[in-house]
Amino acid sequence: MKEGKNVIALTGVTGAMGGEVLSSLLQSPEDFYIKCIVYEEEKKLPSFVKKLFKKHSDRIYRFRGNIARYEDCIKLLEDADYLLHCAALIPPKSDHNPKSTYLSNYVGTKNLADAVIEGGNTVSFVHIATVAMYGNRSYPHVWGRVGDPVISSDYDFYSAYKLKAERYVLECGLKKFVSLRQTAVLHKYMFANNLKDGLMFHTSWNCPLEWVTDVDSGIMCKNLVEKDLKGELCGFWNAIYNIGGGSACRVTGFETLDAGFAMMGSGAKKFFKPNWNITRNFHGVWFYDSDVLDNFLNYRSEDFKTFWQRMSKKYSYFKLAKIVPPSLISKLVFKRLFKNTNAPMYWVKHGKEGRIKAFFGGRDKFEAIGTDWNAFPLLCEGKTPDGTVDYQKLKDINFARERLLNHGYDESKKLEELTVADLDGAAKFRGGKLLSSSYSSDPYEKLDWQCREGHTFKSSVYTVLKGGYWCPHCCEPKPWRYGSLAKDIPFYAQVYYDTHTKDEENDVYPLFEGEDDFIIEQ
Name the one range near Zn ion by CB under 5 A: 218-226, 274-282, 420-428, 444-452.
444-452
- C-beta separation of 468 from 148 below 8 A: yes
56-67 core/surface letters (b: 16 or more CB in 10 A; e: else): eeebbbbeebbb
Is there binding between residue 175 and Zn ion (CB under 5 A)?
no
Name the one range near Zn ion by CB under 5 A: 95-103, 228-236, 305-313, 443-451.
443-451
Name the one range near Zn ion by CB under 5 A: 87-95, 299-307, 406-414, 453-461.
453-461
Q: Which residues are CB-neighbours of 236 under 8 A, at least 6 positions away?
A: 178, 228, 296
Q: Which is nearer to Zn ion, 384 or 484 (CB)?
A: 484
Helix (H, G, I), strand (E, B) or coil at 352: coil
- C-beta separation of 366 from 356 below 8 A: yes
- C-beta separation of 20 from 217 below 8 A: yes
Q: Which is nearer to Zn ion, 79 or 488 (CB)?
A: 488
Name the helix (H) or strand (E) containing 207.
none
Is there binding between residue 453 and Zn ion (CB under 5 A)?
yes
Among 13, 163, 249, 451, contact with Zn ion (rule: CB under 5 A)? 451
Q: Which is nearer to Zn ion, 312 or 450 (CB)?
A: 450
Minimum gap (Å) between residue 429 Cβ and Zn ion: 15
Minimum gap (Å) between residue 452 Cβ and Zn ion: 7
Helix (H, G, I), strand (E, B) or coil at 1: coil
CA-to-CA distance for 368 and 385, rounded, in angstroms?
12
The overall longest dimension of the chain from CA atoms, in Å, is 71
CA-to-CA distance for 501 and 77, rounded, in angstroms?
48
Q: Which is nearer to Zn ion, 81 or 453 (CB)?
A: 453
Q: Which is nearer to Zn ion, 116 or 434 (CB)?
A: 434
Q: Which is nearer to Zn ion, 454 or 510 (CB)?
A: 454
Minimum gap (Å) between residue 448 Cβ and Zn ion: 13
Minimum gap (Å) between residue 506 Cβ and Zn ion: 17
Q: Which is nearer to Zn ion, 103 or 474 (CB)?
A: 474
Instruction: Please give the residues from 455 up to 474 whose contact with Zn ion meets the rule CB under 5 A.
Output: 455, 471, 473-474
- C-beta separation of 177 from 127 below 8 A: yes
409-436 core/surface letters (b: 16 or more CB in 10 A; e: else): beeeeebeebeeebbbbbbebbbbebeb
Is there binding between residue 352 and Zn ion (CB under 5 A)?
no
Residue 224: CB atoms within 10 Å: 23
Instruction: Please give the residues from 393 up to 422 whose contact with Zn ion meets the rule CB under 5 A.
Output: none
Minimum gap (Å) between residue 484 Cβ and Zn ion: 11
Minimum gap (Å) between residue 431 Cβ and Zn ion: 9
- C-beta separation of 25 from 221 below 8 A: yes
Q: Which is nearer to Zn ion, 93 or 455 (CB)?
A: 455
How many residues in the shown chain lie near Zn ion by CB under 5 A? 6
Minimum gap (Å) between residue 18 Cβ and Zn ion: 35
Q: Which is nearer to Zn ion, 433 or 473 (CB)?
A: 473
Name the one range near Zn ion by CB under 5 A: 134-142, 168-176, 269-277, 450-458.
450-458
Q: Which is nearer to Zn ion, 71 or 448 (CB)?
A: 448
β partners of residue 144? 287
Minimum gap (Å) between residue 481 Cβ and Zn ion: 11
How far is CA 158 from each of CA 88, 94, 101, 395, 425, rounded to the nearest angstrom? 8, 6, 6, 28, 32
DSSP symbols for 357-390: HHHHSSHHHHHHH-S-GGGS--GGGTEETTEE--
CA-to-CA distance for 503 and 107, rounded, in angstroms?
35
Minimum gap (Å) between residue 112 Cβ and Zn ion: 27
Minimum gap (Å) between residue 345 Cβ and Zn ion: 37
CA-to-CA distance for 382 and 388, rounded, in angstroms?
5
Q: Which is nearer to Zn ion, 304 or 449 (CB)?
A: 449
Minimum gap (Å) between residue 427 Cβ and Zn ion: 12
Minimum gap (Å) between residue 474 Cβ and Zn ion: 3
Residue 325: CB atoms within 10 Å: 12
β partners of residue 64? 38
Q: Which is nearer to Zn ion, 114 or 505 (CB)?
A: 505
Q: Which is nearer to Zn ion, 274 or 432 (CB)?
A: 432
Name the one range near Zn ion by CB under 5 A: 14-22, 207-215, 246-254, 446-454.
446-454
Minimum gap (Å) between residue 432 Cβ and Zn ion: 8
DSSP, res 469: -
146-178 core/surface letters (b: 16 or more CB in 10 A; e: else): bbbbbbbbbbbbbbbbbbbbbbbbbbeebebbb
Residues at the site binding Zn ion, with contacts judged by CB under 5 A: 451, 453, 455, 471, 473-474
